């Protein structure tokens, strides 16, 4: 039975990617809330004013590492790259514990440096998983696979922070030791990945020159997808910085805040694979992205005007459902943008860098906006996301219409300009805009 005739979750490579993503997320996020506590309480020489620098070092490493790691993931065995990422992540966690017994400026620099390197390792793992999904899944099933892996990511974040709380009862230091052990567990999981995917699942048919894609040739759809990425990611910064204070302001107790944080993950875990399974065509994926993001935007803008906590919870569930619809389809659209692996690795790097930058920047801005009220970050970031979504939708619609109109009215071109790549790029743009995906160029591109 071919891969396209079986459900993705029954395929061993997809199961491995789900497991790797789950354990990786649990490991990384288990340490996040305890790093400031560890540095302030158990590392006596670490200056309090530099704790924020140590926390931000990992995010900076993630941002810096996205593009080069995406490029390297194409040139190195994906399996080996994931293993190396877990080794570096585990060593960095143990290194923080070991250096904590030292002291002075060298110890401070070592801890910050280890967290920065850990962020780069996270970028390598994330980009390797993206590249692996492209290799082990057929195009029409890719959104479903991204939904499954995304659900594993969210589940890992939730369970990781919960388990860290249990481990921390013994010692905060033990959280980092347990994280290093979890990284070691991920290594045999990653080794279960195949050395390379079957050629028929990774390379389109046709002449190699015709299959070559340049970033310039896909600049319009890439810009559209980057705008949609910004629309979904800018809201994350608002949630990361302001959601807890907002809930407290609406009357949630300390325990309820944590529960309502976790509640956001339930619709995503439940619905992301289902929405991904539904989004088998470019038109459905674009519909899921636009409608899902719009739902999340409306929810964010409405938060400042909601005073009753039960209503806030209902709106939160709607926002989470919108994110579950949008994110797997957006990842699949980005993954299918280029034919050849070299161009696609660049696109993965650009998308990852943009996502990291917008997420970090919006978190900082949201924190500053809270001086005007805990609801203001959601209002402002929601408006920014709405603008990005509107610009992306307008650019997509206008470009598609002008391309089709130009194609109908233009005279026949010389044979030297009859480039199959141009036909494919026009067809891809039309498919993203919701037009018929059965053009000869797209049929030839299908696995």
pLDDT, position 338: 79
d(CA 21, CA 212): 31
3-state secondary structure 78-95: HHHHHHHHHHHHHHHHHH
- 351 sits in which H/E element: helix 341-369
d(CA 50, CA 39): 10
Residue pair 337/221 in contact by the 8 Å Cβ criterion: yes
pLDDT, position 118: 94
| Long-range contacts of 261-265, Cβ-Cβ distance < 8 Å, separation of 24 or more | 262/158, 263/313, 263/316, 263/317, 263/320, 264/239, 264/316, 264/319, 264/320, 265/154, 265/155, 265/157, 265/158, 265/320
**Does CATH place domain 204-404+418-447 in 1.20.1250.20?**
yes
Considering the domain 1-202, what is its CATH architecture?
Answer: Up-down Bundle (1.20)
Q: Tell me the helices (H) and strands (E) count for the chain, helix number first.
A: 18, 0
- Within 8 A by CB and 6+ apart from 220, the residues are 395, 396, 399, 429
pLDDT, position 76: 82
Domains 1-202 and 204-404+418-447 fall in the same CATH topology: yes
Residues of the chain with pLDDT under 50: 1-4, 197-210, 404, 407-427, 435-447
- Within 8 A by CB and 6+ apart from 209, the residues are none
d(CA 263, CA 257): 10
In 3D, which of 60, 139, 142 has the Cα closest to residue 353? 60
pLDDT, position 218: 82
Is residue 235 exposed (0-12), middle (13-18) or buried (19+ Cβ within 10 Å)? Answer: buried
In 3D, which of 278, 268, 270 has the Cα closest to residue 239? 268
Crossing angle for the helix pair 265-278 and 254-263, nearest 10 degrees?
Answer: 10
pLDDT digits 0-9 by tens, 256-269: 887 888 888 899 99
Is residue 385 exposed (0-12), middle (13-18) or buried (19+ Cβ within 10 Å)? Answer: buried
Count Cβ neighbours within 10 Å for each residue of 288-306 and write b for 16 or more, e otherwise.
Answer: bbbebbbbbbebbbbbbeb
pLDDT, position 342: 84
- 117 sits in which H/E element: helix 104-136
pLDDT, position 312: 95
pLDDT, position 402: 58
d(CA 443, CA 426): 13
d(CA 42, CA 413): 72
d(CA 25, CA 21): 6
In 3D, which of 28, 66, 34 has the Cα closest to residue 358? 66
pLDDT, position 377: 94
Q: Spell out the domain ranges in the chain.
A: 1-202, 204-404+418-447
d(CA 144, CA 332): 9
Alpha helices in 137-213 (DSSP H): 142-167, 172-191, 199-202, 208-211
pLDDT digits 0-9 by tens, 402-419: 554 554 444 443 434 444
- 282 sits in which H/E element: helix 282-302
- Within 8 A by CB and 6+ apart from 275, the residues are 143, 147, 288, 292, 324, 325, 328, 329
pLDDT, position 357: 92
CA angle at 441 for the pair 282 and 419, rounded to the nearest 5°: 130
pLDDT, position 401: 67
Cut 0.85: pTM above it: no
């Amino acid at each position: 039975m071919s891969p396209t005739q079986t459900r993705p979750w029954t395929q061993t490579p997809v199961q491995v990617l789900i497991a790797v993503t789950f354990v990786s997320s649990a490991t990384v996020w288990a340490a996040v809330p305890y790093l400031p506590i560890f540095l302030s309480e158990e590392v006596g020489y670490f200056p309090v004013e530099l704790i924020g620098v140590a926390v931000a070092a990992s995010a900076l490493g993630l941002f810096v590492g996205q593009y080069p790691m995406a490029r390297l993931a194409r040139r190195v065995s994906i399996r080996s790259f994931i293993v190396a990422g877990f080794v570096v992540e585990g060593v960095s966690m143990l290194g923080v514990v070991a250096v904590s017994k030292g002291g002075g400026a060298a110890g401070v620099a070592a801890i910050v440096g280890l967290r920065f390197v850990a962020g780069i390792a996270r970028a390598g793992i994330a980009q390797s998983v993206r590249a692996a999904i492209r290799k082990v899944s057929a195009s029409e099933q890719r959104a479903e696979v991204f939904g499954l892996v995304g659900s594993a990511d969210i589940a890992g974040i939730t369970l990781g922070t919960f388990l860290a709380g249990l481990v921390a009862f013994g010692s905060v230091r033990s959280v980092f030791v347990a994280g290093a052990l979890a990284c070691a567990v991920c290594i045999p999981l990653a080794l279960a990945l195949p050395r390379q995917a079957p050629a028929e699942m990774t390379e389109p048919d046709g002449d190699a020159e015709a299959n070559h894609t340049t970033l310039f040739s896909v600049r319009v759809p890439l810009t559209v997808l980057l705008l949609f990425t910004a629309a979904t990611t800018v809201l994350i910064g608002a949630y990361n910085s302001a959601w807890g204070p907002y809930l407290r302001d609406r009357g949630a107790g300390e325990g309820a805040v944590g529960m309502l944080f976790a509640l956001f993950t339930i619709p995503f875990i439940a619905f992301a694979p289902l929405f991904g399974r539904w989004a088998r065509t470019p038109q459905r994926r674009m519909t899921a992205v636009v409608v899902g993001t719009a739902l999340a935007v409306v929810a964010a803008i409405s938060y400042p005007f909601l005073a009753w906590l039960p209503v806030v919870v209902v709106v939160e569930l709607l926002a989470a459902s919108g994110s579950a619809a949008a994110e797997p389809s957006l990842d699949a659209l980005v993954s299918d943008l280029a034919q050849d692996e070299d161009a696609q690795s660049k696109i993965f790097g650009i998308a990852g860098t943009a996502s990291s930058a917008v997420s970090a920047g919006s978190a900082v801005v949201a924190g500053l906006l809270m001086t005007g009220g805990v609801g203001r970050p959601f209002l402002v970031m929601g408006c920014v996301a709405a603008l990005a979504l509107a610009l992306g939708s307008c650019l997509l619609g206008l470009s598609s219409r002008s391309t089709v109109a130009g194609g109908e009215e233009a005279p026949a071109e010389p044979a030297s300009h009859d480039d199959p790549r141009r036909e494919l790029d026009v067809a891809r743009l039309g498919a993203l805009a919701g037009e018929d995906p059965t053009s000869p160029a797209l049929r030839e591109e299908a696995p």
